[in-house]
Amino acid sequence: MPRLLNRVYNPTQRQSLAISASASMVAILLLTLMSIIGFILIRGSAYFWPLDIYTLTYANSQTGVTAQAFAQIRDESMRAPLIMQSGEQGAIKQRTEEQNWWLSYVVEGRVTLSRELLDPANVLSVSKNPNVAEITLTNGETVLANPLFKTPTQTQRQALSNLQEARVNVDYLQQQIESVRRAHLSPIHEELAEFDRLGVANDAPARVRLTQQFYEHQQTIQQYQQQLAQYTLEVVDAQGNVSVLMLSELEHIDFSNQLNTLGKVWVSVSRIWAFLSDEPKQANTAGGVFPALFGTILMVLLMTLIVTPFGVLAAIYLSEYAPNNLMTAALRIGVSNMAGVPSIVYGVFGLGFFIYAIGGSIDSLFYADKLPSPTFGAPGLFWASLTMALLTLPVVVVATEEGLQRVPSGIRASSYALGATKIETIWYTVLPIASPGIMTGVILAIARAAGEVAPLMLVGAVKFAPTLPVDGEFPFLHLERQFMHLGVFIYDGAFHSQTDSQGSSMMFAACLLLLLCVFGLNLIAINLRARLRKRYTQGA
Amino acid sequence: MLNLFEREKLELETLSQEQTAINVEHLDLWFGNKQVLDDVSMRIPKHQITAFIGQSGCGKSTLISSFNRMNDLIDGCRYRGSIEIDGRDINHPRENVARLRANVGMVFQRPNPFPMSIYDNVCYGLKLQGMNLRRALDDAVEQALRDAALWDEVKDRLFESANILSGGQQQRLVFARALALQPEILLLDEPTSALDPLTTLYIEELMINLKKRCTVVIVTHNMQQAARVSDYTAFINQGRLIEYADSDSLFTMPRKKQTEDYITGRYG
Ligand SMILES: Nc1ncnc2c1ncn2[C@@H]1O[C@H](COP(=O)(O)OP(=O)(O)OP(=O)(O)O)[C@@H](O)[C@H]1O
Ligand SMILES: [Mg+2]
Give the gap in angstroms from C-alpha A282 to the nearest C-alpha of chain B: 56
Q: What is the CATH number of the domain that holds B230?
A: 3.40.50.300
Chain segment A371-406, per-residue pLDDT in tens: 677 777 778 888 999 999 999 999 999 999 999 998
- Identify the three-state secondary structure at position B174: helix
Shortest-distance Cα residue to atom 3 of ligand 1: B31
B170 has a chain A CB within 8 A of its CB: yes
Which residues in A lie closer than 8 A to residue B163 (C-beta atoms)? 537-539
Give dist(CA B50, CA A163) in Å, integer: 97
Chain segment B55-96, per-residue pLDDT in tens: 999 999 999 999 999 998 888 899 999 999 988 899 888 889
Residue B185 lies inside a defined structural domain of this protein = yes
Atom of ligand 1 nearest to the CA of B239: 14
Distances (CA, A) of A84 to A59, A67, A119, A151: 19, 20, 16, 40
pLDDT greater than 60 at residue B165: yes
pLDDT at residue A388, rounded to an integer: 92
Which one of B65, B73, B122 would you mutate to disrupt binding with A, by most A Cβ within 10 Å of its Cβ? B73
CB B175 within 8 A of CB B203: yes
pLDDT at residue A116, rounded to an integer: 43
SS3 readout for A277-333? HCCEECCCCEECCHHHHHHHHHHHHHHHHHHHHHHHHHHHHHHHHCCCCHHHHHHHH
Nearest to A92 by CA among A77, A100, A81: A81
- Given A414, A535, A537, which is nearest B112 (Cβ)? A414
B59 pocket-lining for ligand 1 (C-beta < 6 Å): yes
**Tell me, what amino acid is at B256?**
K
CB B50 within 8 A of CB B44: yes
Q: Cβ contacts of residue A498 below 8 Å, gap of 6+?
A: none
Give dist(CA A145, CA A107) in Å, integer: 7
pLDDT greater than 90 at residue A521: no
Banded model confidence at residue A486, pLDDT cuts 50, 70, 90: confident
Give dist(CA B262, CA B236) in Å, integer: 10
**Tell me, what amino acid is at B110?**
R
B181 has a chain A CB within 8 A of its CB: yes
Give dist(CA A313, CA A305) in Å, integer: 13
B268 pocket-lining for ligand 1 (C-beta < 6 Å): no
Residue B176 lies inside a defined structural domain of this protein = yes
Give dist(CA B152, CA B154) in Å, integer: 6
Nearest to A305 by CA among A397, A386, A395, A426: A386
Q: Where on the phi/psi map is residue A473: left (φ > 0), alpha (ψ -120 to 50), or beta? A: beta
Give dist(CA B209, CA B188) in Å, integer: 15
Residue B231 lies inside a defined structural domain of this protein = yes
pLDDT at residue B83, rounded to an integer: 93
Dihedral sign for Cα A462, A464, A466, A469, please. positive
Nearest to A512 by CA among A201, A17, A47, A22: A47
What's the total number of domains in chain B? 1
pLDDT greater than 70 at residue A60: no
Q: Using CA coordinates, name the residue in chain B closest to A430.
A: B114
Give the gap in angstroms from C-alpha B75 to the nearest C-alpha of chain A: 10
Give dist(CA A59, CA A478) in Å, integer: 56
**Ligand 1 mutation pick, B29, B40, B61, max ligand atoms within 8 A of CB:** B61
Looking at all shown ligands, the one closest to residue B60's CA atom is 1
| CB-CB under 8 Å, B170 with A418 | no
CB count in 10 Å sphere of residue A467 = 12
Distances (CA, A) of A429 to A227, A385, A415, B52, B167: 72, 31, 8, 31, 20
Residue B268 lies inside a defined structural domain of this protein = no
Q: What is the percentage of chain B residues whose pLDDT exceeds 70?
A: 95
Q: Which residues of A375-390 are buried (b: 16+ CB within 10 A; e: fewer)?
A: ebbbbbbbbbbbbbbb
pLDDT greater than 50 at residue A105: no
pLDDT at residue A208, rounded to an integer: 84
**Tell me, what amino acid is at B166?**
S
pLDDT at residue A247, rounded to an integer: 77
Banded model confidence at residue A86, pLDDT cuts 50, 70, 90: very low
pLDDT greater than 80 at residue A539: no
pLDDT at residue A98, rounded to an integer: 34
Residue B76 lies inside a defined structural domain of this protein = yes
Mean pLDDT score of chain A: 78
Give dist(CA A422, CA A415) in Å, integer: 9
B179 has a chain A CB within 8 A of its CB: no
Residue B37 lies inside a defined structural domain of this protein = yes
Give the gap in angstroms from C-alpha B62 to the nearest C-alpha of chain A: 14
Q: What is the mean pLDDT of residues B3-31?
A: 77
Distances (CA, A) of B259 to A48, B24, B50, B236: 88, 21, 16, 9
Residue A193 phi/psi, 5-degree rounding, is -65, -40
CA of B54 to the centre of ligand 2 (A): 10
ipTM score for this prediction: 0.91
CB B139 within 8 A of CB B183: no
Q: Cβ contacts of residue A74 below 8 Å, gap of 6+?
A: A46, A51, A102, A104, A501, A505
- Residue A242: beta bridge partners? A236
pLDDT greater than 50 at residue A228: yes
| CB-CB under 8 Å, A414 with B98 | no
Give dist(CA A442, CA A311) in Å, integer: 9
A421 has a chain B CB within 8 A of its CB: yes
Distances (CA, A) of A296 to A119, A346, A477, B194: 42, 18, 15, 54
Domains and their CATH numbers in chain A: 54-147 (no CATH), 290-536 (1.10.3720.10)
CA of B79 to the centre of ligand 1 (A): 15
- Residue B232: beta bridge partners? B50, B246
Residue B7 lies inside a defined structural domain of this protein = no
Chain segment A451-483, per-residue pLDDT in tens: 888 898 888 887 777 778 877 777 777 777 888
Banded model confidence at residue A115, pLDDT cuts 50, 70, 90: very low
B123 has a chain A CB within 8 A of its CB: no
**Tell me, what amino acid is at A384?**
A
Nearest to A385 by CA among A446, A476, A328, A435: A446
Shortest-distance Cα residue to atom 14 of ligand 1: B59
Domain hosting B113: range is 12-263
Give the gap in angstroms from C-alpha B265 to the nearest C-alpha of chain A: 31
Element at B165 (helix H, strand E): none
Chain segment B221-231, per-residue pLDDT in tens: 988 889 889 99
CB B174 within 8 A of CB B162: no
Nearest to A348 by CA among A339, A336, A356: A356
Banded model confidence at residue A440, pLDDT cuts 50, 70, 90: confident
CB B108 within 8 A of CB A414: yes
Give dist(CA A46, CA A275) in Å, integer: 13
Q: Cβ contacts of residue B30 below 8 Å, gap of 6+?
A: B36, B76, B77, B78, B79
Give dist(CA A166, CA A147) in Å, integer: 14
Pairwise pLDDT comparison (A310 vs A374), residue with the higher score: A310
Beta-sheet strands, E only, within A415-522: 461-462, 483-484
Which residues in B lie closer than 8 A to residue A414 (C-beta atoms)? 108, 112, 114, 174, 177
Residue B2 lies inside a defined structural domain of this protein = no
Q: What is the mean pLDDT of residues A280-302?
A: 82
Angle at A151 between CA A150 and CA A154, to 5 degrees: 90
CA of B56 to the centre of ligand 2 (A): 7
Which one of A321, A328, A414, A534 would you mutate to disrupt binding with B, by most B Cβ within 10 Å of its Cβ? A414
